[in-house]
Chain A
Amino acid sequence: MNVTLVQGVVQPRVPIHSVGAMAAEPILRVRNLEVTYYTDSGRAKALDNVSFTLKAGEKLGMVGESGSGKSTLALAMMRMIKPPGRIEGGQVIVGDTDLMSLDQEGMRKARLSRIAYIPQGAMNSLNPVMKIGAQMMDAVKSHLPDEARPAIEARCKRALQSVDLDASVFKMFAHELSGGMKQRVCIAIGILLDPDVIIADEPTSALDVVTQRQVMETIDNVQKAINAAVILIGHDMGLMAQFVDRVAVMYAGRLVEMSTVREMFTDPKHPYSRALISSLPSLDNKGVFQGIPGLAPSLLRLPSGCAFHPRCASVMPTCSTIRPEAQILPGGRSVTCHLYDGEALHEGRT
């Protein structure tokens, strides 16, 4: 797909030759993020000490079953957790700003301009009685109140162009667009202000394969153009293999493994990642159905020790009593499992 790169919206933030130098410095650092939901039947820890870093231009895949905390992580990074949920601690540092320390107004400004979020089913979030253009201009106006109307309009049209949509979409209503086009409008809104970090929460879960490929290629192109870091949330490992650089696996609110995409697919370390990988369909193993036995645990009643131990194929006696901590393996991968207690370089996080 050809993306027309026009000066402005999709102009690279950093000159291409300096990308290598930039790459060393992470653009996003999430440290010890904790979220708890206070429900009538008890406290549910939806995010437990989640830490990771992301470089500019890097694509991270966040996988896990429903209820593993993927979407909570996205909402927590945007500071959009609603009661009864509460962010209990941790930092989300974009560039050199800790989003958690901003006031309400500062955070409102940071959303979309520093960190953009494309929610699940984003295409159903467009206002049916407002033209696409008006919705896009609203978003820009609230961040750049002094910018003149023609300039804002031009910026919106460039964003539409960069996701391969015709400028005529600007004057259309949501119902005139197909699902894939609506999803691309949402991506265009997400990149209006050249954010440093884009979080896409299952952007293609309701789309068919061809449209899915089109949408993912669009994200890929705009991401390259503005050199943003992307977090792709989903449970489709196939999509991850095609799109991301690194994969993080979540289970019951914790990051259990974080590896490069090649390491994840060729040599997964955590037994849960292994089960995930082997449950994947491929052309070679026709008719073999290998699900993961058992059910995801309820966050209200987590098993003792490692939360995965009742379903784990390599369970050991320690697993039911001692909770494993994240450890760094040689090569820089991080895994939270007792199987690697002897091999770790040191305990801690990337």
Chain B
Amino acid sequence: MADLLRLENISKVYSRGLINAQSNVALSNFSLTLREDEPTILTVAGESGSGKTTLAMLLLGFTAPTTGQIIYRGRDISTLRGEEKMAYRREVQAVFQDPFAVFNPFYTVDHLLTVPIKRFKLAKSKADARNKMEEALTAVGLRPEDILGRFPHQLSGGQRQRINVARALLLKPKLLIADEPVSMVDASLRATILETLRNLQRDHGVSIIYITHDLTTAYHIAKSIIVLYRGSVMEAGDVDTVIKDPQHPYTQLLVDSIPWPNLDQRWGAQPIKAREAGGGGSGCRFRSRCPKAMDICATEPPLFEINPTHTASCFLHHAQPHVAMERLSQLLPA
């Protein structure tokens, strides 16, 4: 079995305060497996506070899980040292939300590309390095002569975001974590960046975890989707079924709130219950906002299998067979 990455019952709890310590569960009991031989694009969707960025931080090794293990190619990433750690750092790459903040305004954009080349000793000579940079830029649809030697402020947001993708590509990653890569880019440029990401997966065999709150772009780029709410999986499965026929009331609310550019497809009339502050309480996390909340929702719902590529964590589907969290990945089409 060639598993690229395996998350085993990951939880992340942020706590603050010494006396009256408050804790906030950012991600609870999450499991996921990505296979090495089948590069895929997986969307992790949810609103702010759903734990999607925490997941990115955990995957990139920026923060350690409170419980559970992250296994990368058979090794727990918290035990990686030296060369293995370097290999992990190279093979798992990130593209972040803000294409303006990742550049140092005092350096030309070359800096962003030469640092990883030097750090990971990717090139034997300066000419080789230059070739590699040009190759990566061409792969994301940029003309190297337009880009190299320029300062960040001379480039558009879309160009800068594509340079970030090129930087990741340069390192020949196995896994790319894209955390809201298009949310700060003009709508007209989004299409180009999404296409770049999809080509990366198709032509270069890179698995992508696409983190977003925007279900429209998720629908267009991804094969499968996991919907998170306050750290718990609400619904997961094939992106087509989940978005066209959502089963969990939370996903229904999300899909209902997409502003489709279609005059005959209006925003839903379903009223929105305001989100309550704090992270406490047991049972279904969406209970306090759910229009269909029942008494049983005070206990935590397991995942129910709706069909072989669709699962929802909601007692409305209690007649369906249970799915163990560890089996979640098997329901996600590659």
**Partner-B contacts on A (CB < 8 A):** 1-2, 65-66, 164, 178-179, 207-214, 216-217, 235-243, 261-262, 265-266, 275-277, 279-283, 286-292, 295-296
Contact = CB atoms under 8 A, between A and B. Distances in A.
Given A241-B263, A265-B261, A277-B261, A209 B188 contact: no
Given A1-B272, A208-B48, A238 B261 contact: yes
B259 A242 contact: yes
B219 interface: yes
B241 to A, nearest CB: 13
Given A208-B47, A289-B195, A289-B220, A279 B272 contact: no
Given A1-B271, A238-B260, A283-B244, A66 B47 contact: no
B209 to A, nearest CB: 18
Contacts of B253: 210
Contacts of A281: 191, 216-217, 219-220, 261
A203 to B, nearest CB: 13
A279 B258 contact: no
A66 B263 contact: no
Interface string B259-272: 11111001100011
A235 B186 contact: yes
A265 B262 contact: yes
Contacts of B215: 209
B26 to A, nearest CB: 16
B219 A283 contact: yes
Contacts of A280: 187, 261
Interface in B112-166: 156-157, 159
21 contacts: A1-B271, A178-B48, A209-B214, A209-B215, A210-B272, A213-B257, A235-B187, A237-B187, A238-B216, A238-B261, A242-B260, A242-B267, A265-B261, A279-B190, A280-B261, A281-B220, A283-B244, A286-B219, A287-B220, A289-B220, A292-B189
A133 B200 CA distance: 51
Contact of B260 (A282, A291, A292): A282
Contact of A291 (B195, B198, B243, B266): B195
Contact of A242 (B157, B244, B266): B266
Contacts of B58: none
Interface in B156-215: 156-157, 159, 186-192, 194-195, 198, 213-215
A214 B272 contact: yes
Contacts of B159: 295
Contacts of B275: 178
A281 B259 CA distance: 11
B254 interface: yes
A65 B186 contact: yes
Given A208-B47, A211-B47, A281-B219, A262 B195 contact: no
Interface string B42-55: 00000110000000
Contacts of A214: 272, 274
Contacts of B217: 281
A209 B262 contact: no
Contact of A279 (B191, B263, B274): B191
Nearest to A272: B188
Nearest to B260: A238
Nearest to B196: A289
B58 to A, nearest CB: 21
A290 B258 CA distance: 20
Contacts of A290: 191
Nearest to A67: B156
Contacts of B189: 65, 291-292
Contact of A65 (B188, B213, B272): B188
Shortest 7 CB-CB contacts between residues of A and residues of B: A238-B259, A291-B191, A208-B213, A208-B47, A289-B195, A291-B192, A213-B257
Contacts of B194: 289
Nearest to B216: A281
A283 B260 contact: yes
A26 B129 CA distance: 62
A289 B158 CA distance: 15
A286 B198 CA distance: 13
A210 B258 CA distance: 8
B263 A262 contact: yes
A119 B47 CA distance: 23
Contact of B261 (A66, A207, A282, A295): A282
B2 to A, nearest CB: 27
Contacts of A211: 47-48
Given A235-B187, A286-B219, A209 B263 contact: no
Nearest to B184: A205
A262 B253 CA distance: 26
Contacts of A243: 259
Contacts of A236: 187, 259
A210 B254 contact: yes
A254 B240 CA distance: 40
A179 B259 contact: no
A272 to B, nearest CB: 9
Contacts of A66: 156-157, 186
Nearest to B156: A295
Nearest to B243: A283
A288 to B, nearest CB: 8
Nearest to B272: A214
A240 to B, nearest CB: 8
B281 to A, nearest CB: 18
B220 A209 contact: no
A2 B192 CA distance: 40
A286 B244 CA distance: 12
Given A65-B186, A208-B48, A214-B272, A289 B191 contact: yes
A129 B215 CA distance: 36
A229 B191 CA distance: 32
The residue among A1, A237, A238 with the most chain B CB atoms within 10 A of its own CB is A238
Nearest to B197: A289
A295 B158 CA distance: 9
A207 B191 CA distance: 20
